């Protein structure tokens, strides 16, 4: 049983609701990355399991666009120091291509969700506050300051200052949402009076003039949106943490049952900083820039693979995400156990094999179709199937460029590499000569034919097969190793191979 189905069954057993709202979300403070995606894919998996069970459920996403910019991150220009403390929705896009800072990082992610086939209802926190959705819960929070302070102190163990209020006003002078203190409030007129560190005294409306403190905001959001299920990072699930506080606030302040929690472990990024060094494992972070944005990895990895990478692991287990060779192994696993990537001929050509074919074709798609045909796959005439091949080849090219280890990359040599040829022994050259009869006119050996012939020649010449493989790679690729020799040779034009092998012993 997949973990999502087990969770869905437990939800149905434990919760009385007949309709469920499964909430996910993130603060778009920087690139939304593969680590952030775990929350969405976890939620999507459980949502799908519920629907498959006949349970009415919807999946929502809350973008915390009204959160403040905590500091000037390393990827921001110096002038953004002046925007620290302002809501992300009110800060200009650093690249100038979207209406706000928040949208600059949020929109590529939302586009990626469409690519991933995840249908989700979007809520933006700034729009929720400005539309008045929070007014009633703000009134309740401000009226019960003492109760909120007591709950926070009891759960978290930290002392709440006398000046603390549950509502953070947005200063109409400096634009910050972190520096003003509420001095008094007017429930009937739905506004607070505040003093800001910048020296401004102002009035802030409950309708978009500020936001609730995080722990209060989370509980209030559950009630506003009717949330019954929510996945979240394990740090929020720690004893005395955000979720424990939220449960008490939801129950005692808002008379609402906290959602069914699905805590999950983090996705760690595992990469080699410099070739030859040990793999480095780091926590993904938008603010530190130690991440791979979702929209970028989807340029090099098909959506079904990215979903598989995350959904194959139970939420309570951490994931080490290495976009290089380990990811290729997962692609192999997926195609072997679940199904090929793409439709038609594209589905039949393994991703790993296409790595070889794309490099032989040197980026020329017309040549790639010829190489595919020589490799033993009948090229379709249907335009849609051709598009599928082109799309899969695009993933391959991008993965090769961005993430492939050097040993998987090669360049087919247009001329015989003379200097490298000098390093081959006479027995190796003889072996190449003995392979040439396989290239008689009209004969097109497949990968198995080549493989068997290589071992036959090795036996006849008392050579180790690996020495023949090395000779083949040297004269074709100018390096001592490469892709599976049978696949490589079957994918090349027989006349090209015959002339190349002949040149080695002339």
Q: What is the pLDDT of residues 85-143, one digit of tens each?
A: 999 999 999 988 999 999 999 999 999 999 999 999 999 999 999 999 999 999 999 99
pLDDT score recorded for residue 503: 85
Residue 146 lies in a domain: no
Integer CA distances (angstroms), 351 to 47, 306, 398, 436, in order? 30, 14, 13, 29
Global model pTM greater than 0.75? yes
If asked whether residues 207 and 223 sit together in one domain, one would say: no
Average of per-residue pLDDT values in the chain: 92
User: Strand 56-63 to strand 121-124: parallel, antiparallel, or no bridges (unpaired)?
Assistant: parallel
User: Of 375, 408, 441, which residue is a domain's last?
Assistant: 408
Residue 155 lies in a domain: no
Residue 181 lies in a domain: yes
Which CATH number fits the domain that encloses residue 247? 3.40.50.620
In contact, 180 and 197? CB cutoff 8 Å: yes
If asked whether residues 20 and 115 sit together in one domain, one would say: yes
- Phi, psi of 210, deg, nearest 5: 165, -175
pLDDT tens sequence across 21-79: 999 999 999 999 999 999 999 999 999 999 999 999 999 999 999 999 999 998 999 99
Integer CA distances (angstroms), 454 to 259, 376, 431, 465, in order? 63, 19, 8, 7
pLDDT tens sequence across 416-444: 999 988 899 999 988 888 888 766 655 67
If asked whether residues 100 and 245 sit together in one domain, one would say: yes
If asked whether residues 208 and 92 sit together in one domain, one would say: no
The count of domains in the chain is 5
pLDDT tens sequence across 236-262: 988 888 999 999 999 999 999 999 999
Segments forming the whole domain that contains residue 125 = 3-135+213-264
pLDDT tens sequence across 190-234: 999 999 999 999 999 999 999 999 999 999 999 999 999 999 999
- Phi, psi of 388, deg, nearest 5: -65, -40
* Listed residue (145, 207, 139) closest to 170, CA to CA: 207
If asked whether residues 378 and 494 sit together in one domain, one would say: no
Residue 161 lies in a domain: no
H-helix or E-strand spanning residue 42: helix 34-52
pLDDT score recorded for residue 502: 86
If asked whether residues 482 and 446 sit together in one domain, one would say: yes
Residue 250 lies in a domain: yes
If asked whether residues 115 and 24 sit together in one domain, one would say: yes
Strand partners for 398: none
Sign of the dihedral defined by the CA atoms of residues 468, 469, 471, 475, in that order? positive
């Amino acid at each position: 049983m997949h973990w999502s189905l087990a969770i869905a069954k437990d939800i149905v057993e434990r919760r009385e609701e007949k309709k469920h709202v499964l909430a996910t979300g993130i603060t778009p403070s920087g690139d939304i990355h593969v680590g952030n995606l775990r929350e969405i894919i976890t939620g999507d998996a459980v949502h799908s399991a519920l629907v498959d069970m006949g349970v009415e459920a919807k999946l929502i996403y809350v973008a915390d666009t009204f959160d403040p910019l905590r500091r000037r991150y390393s990827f921001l220009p110096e002038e953004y120091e002046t925007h620290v403390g302002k809501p992300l929705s009110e800060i200009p896009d650093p690249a100038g291509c979207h209406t706000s800072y928040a949208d600059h990082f949020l929109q590529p992610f939302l586009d990626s969700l469409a690519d991933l086939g995840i249908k989700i209802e979007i809520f933006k926190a700034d729009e929720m506050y400005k539309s008045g959705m929070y007014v009633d819960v703000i009134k309740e929070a401000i009226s019960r300051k003492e109760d909120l302070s007591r709950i926070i102190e009891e759960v978290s163990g930290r002392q709440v200052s006398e000046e603390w209020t549950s509502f953070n006003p947005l200063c109409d002078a400096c634009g910050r949402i972190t520096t003003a203190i509420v001095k008094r409030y007017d429930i009937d007129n739905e506004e607070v009076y505040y003093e800001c560190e910048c020296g401004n005294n102002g009035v802030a409306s409950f309708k978009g003039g500020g936001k609730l403190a995080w722990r209060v905001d989370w509980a209030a959001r559950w009630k506003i949106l009717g949330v019954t299920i929510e996945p979240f990072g394990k740090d929020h699930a720690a004893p005395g943490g955000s979720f424990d506080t939220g449960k008490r606030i939801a129950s005692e302040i808002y008379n609402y049952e906290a959602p069914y929690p699905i805590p999950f472990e983090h996705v760690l990024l595992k990469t080699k900083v410099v070739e030859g060094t040990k793999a480095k494992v780091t926590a993904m972070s938008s603010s530190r820039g130690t991440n791979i944005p979702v929209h970028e990895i989807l340029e090099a990895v098909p959506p079904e693979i990215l979903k598989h990478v995350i959904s194959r692991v139970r939420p309570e287990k951490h994931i080490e995400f290495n976009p290089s060779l380990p990811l290729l192994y997962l692609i192999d696993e997926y195609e072997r156990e679940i199904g090929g990537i793409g439709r038609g001929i594209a589905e039949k050509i393994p991703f790993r094999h296409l790595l070889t074919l794309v490099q032989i074709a040197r980026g020329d798609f017309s040549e790639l179709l010829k190489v595919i045909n020589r490799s033993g796959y009948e090229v379709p005439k249907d335009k849609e199937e051709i598009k599928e091949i082109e799309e899969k080849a695009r993933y391959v090219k991008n993965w090769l460029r961005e993430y492939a280890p050097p040993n998987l990359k090669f360049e087919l040599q247009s001329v015989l590499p003379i200097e490298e040829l000098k390093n081959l022994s006479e027995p190796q050259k003889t072996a190449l000569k003995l392979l040439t009869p396989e290239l008689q006119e009209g004969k097109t050996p497949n990968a198995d034919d080549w493989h068997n012939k290589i071992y036959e020649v090795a036996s006849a010449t008392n050579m180790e097969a690996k020495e023949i493989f090395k000779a083949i790679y040297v004269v074709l690729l100018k390096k001592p190793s490469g892709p599976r020799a049978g696949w490589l040779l079957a994918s090349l034009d027989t006349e090209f191979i015959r002339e190349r092998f002949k040149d080695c012993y002339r």
